[in-house]
Structure 1
Amino acid sequence: MIEIGEVTVPAATVARLPYYLRALRDLASRGVTTTSSTELAEASGVGSAQLRKDLSYLGSFGTRGVGYDVESLSSVITTALGLGSTHRLAIIGIGNLGQALANYSGYSSRGFEVAALLDVAPSVVGTRPAGGLVVEHLDALEEVLEREAVTMVVLATPGPPAQAVAERVVAAGVKEILCFAPVALQLPDDVVVRSVDVGGELQILAFHAAARAATAAR
């Protein structure tokens, strides 16, 4: 369970809120002002009962026979997710993946700003791969995090150095980390780590592909 203000919300519900927000913003961009639980659930990839249960943790929404006000519900979820102010990001590891993450164009619309880029490779340090930001050396990590008022770190290093780098990030006061490194970080309980294991996800897809092929061969 996760506390959002004075409300305690299941972690699984929190994980689905960004999908609801994305669907609501897509509806708003198309000029839709109200939506039903069925329509919003389908756009979010969940069941309508699950959607209604998730939203019930945030308050009472929707009018029978009318549906949800898109702008109002979007505002509530935005606030619940802590997106009322911009979060400043540092991306550590500016290889191919790090450069792709640095050049992602969707940060600002979701309440994020890339404030710093760091690496150790001489061929990368001093370059400007995105938004005019200069890649700084990892030796200056603590100074950069403080100077740029970084609140979240995206870790795109190779696996071996990831743990040590993450420990430095936490010691510097940043406790929200999005990790793309193929390792299980061991950090204090008050640190929030979200891991994205691309290789692991592809292996899961490979399992399902093999199972489908085996079923078809019977």
Structure 2
Amino acid sequence: MKKTAKIPYAAIERLALYSRPLKVLLKTGVTVVSSEKLAEYCGVNPAQVRKDLAYFGEFGVRGVGYDVNDLLREIQSILATDREWTLCIIGVGNLGHAIVENDNFREMGYRFVAAFDKDQEKISKRLPCGLLIESVERLRDVVRLRNIQIGVITTPPDEAQRVTDLLVDAGIKGILNFSPTQVKAPKSCVVENVDFAVRFEHLAYHLSKVPLK
């Protein structure tokens, strides 16, 4: 892999986007794809595809295109999705249920091995996938016992920071936060905040600029 001082965050996000059509092409027996075709599938321009891939090395043959299997394997290696990751979820409400039961995550190598909640009515019950809902007070011990690498937060906003602190204390190095609030963690822990409300507001803003018919 090519080493570079700084890779734009957007380029890393687009790599994940490129992997989607590559998987489809591989399943349908397509062995080679051009940057033009890959760009068309992903809604970007061909120059952007070539530039993004160039951050990580030299791929493809000029005038021919990219070997679908090789490019997909390289992207998965770059994104570290060529291995299995163990996850826990904290907050087993509607959103938490939907995430844990999503087969796509399992197929991508993200395996939930623990679920936590503070609601006594939920604790000790099993989810359809077989996970036992455990008390959040057991989080530290369970994370270490099961070698959990990523914590997913789907709690109400007033509980998110406390849960973040518990995850960090347990040794978690990656957190995906769906709670509608920004959480803080030390630099040793990577946090991705996913706020659906912000996305809706972003969409509403752009829609407000569209002329009414």
TM-score by length of 2: 0.94
Helix, strand or coil: the match of 2:63? Answer: coil
Q: How far is 1:123 from its partner?
A: 1.8
Helix, strand or coil: the match of 1:59? Answer: coil
Q: Are 2:199 and 1:196 equivalent residues in the alignment? A: no
Q: Are 2:92 and 1:104 equivalent residues in the alignment? A: no
**Residue type of the partner of 2:35?**
S
Match of 1:129 in 2: 127
Helix, strand or coil: the match of 1:22? Answer: helix
**Residue type of the partner of 2:115?**
L
Residues 60-209 of structure 1 mapped to structure 2, 5 A cutoff: 60-209=58-207
| CA distance in structure 2 between the partners assigned to 1:209 and 1:83 by the alignment | 35
Using the TM superposition, name which of 123-132 and 147-156 deviates more.
Answer: 123-132
- Native 8 Å contact 1:94 1:118 kept in 2: yes
Q: How far is 1:190 from its partner?
A: 2.8
- Native 8 Å contact 1:102 1:130 kept in 2: no
| CA distance in structure 1 between the partners assigned to 2:47 and 2:107 by the alignment | 29
Q: How far is 1:183 from its partner?
A: 0.7
- Native 8 Å contact 2:2 2:55 kept in 1: no
| CA distance in structure 1 between the partners assigned to 2:11 and 2:204 by the alignment | 28
Unaligned runs of 5+ in 2: none
1:100-139 superposed Cα distances (whole Å, 9 cap, x missing partner): 1111011232121111111011121111123211011100
Match of 2:212 in 1: 216
Unaligned runs of 5+ in 1: none
1:50-102 superposed Cα distances (whole Å, 9 cap, x missing partner): 11001001111111221100000011111111123200010110001000111
| CA distance in structure 2 between the partners assigned to 1:36 and 1:45 by the alignment | 14
**Residue type of the partner of 1:132?**
G
| CA distance in structure 2 between the partners assigned to 1:194 and 1:18 by the alignment | 15
- Native 8 Å contact 1:99 1:130 kept in 2: no
**Residue type of the partner of 1:181?**
S
Could you say if the C-alpha distance between residues 11 and 92 of structure 1 is closer, same or farther in structure 2, counting changes exceeding 3 Å?
same
Q: How far is 1:20 from its partner?
A: 1.0
Instruction: Give me the CA root mean square deviation.
Output: 1.6
| CA distance in structure 2 between the partners assigned to 1:29 and 1:50 by the alignment | 25
Q: How far is 1:5 from its partner?
A: 8.5
Helix, strand or coil: the match of 1:107? Answer: helix
| Number of corresponding residues | 212
- Native 8 Å contact 1:118 1:138 kept in 2: yes
Q: How far is 1:6 from its partner?
A: 4.5
| CA distance in structure 2 between the partners assigned to 1:37 and 1:22 by the alignment | 14
| CA distance in structure 2 between the partners assigned to 1:53 and 1:177 by the alignment | 29
Helix, strand or coil: the match of 1:216? Answer: coil
**Residue type of the partner of 2:212?**
A
| CA distance in structure 2 between the partners assigned to 1:90 and 1:45 by the alignment | 33
Helix, strand or coil: the match of 1:17? Answer: helix
| CA distance in structure 1 between the partners assigned to 2:43 and 2:186 by the alignment | 33
**Residue type of the partner of 2:208?**
A
**Residue type of the partner of 1:191?**
C
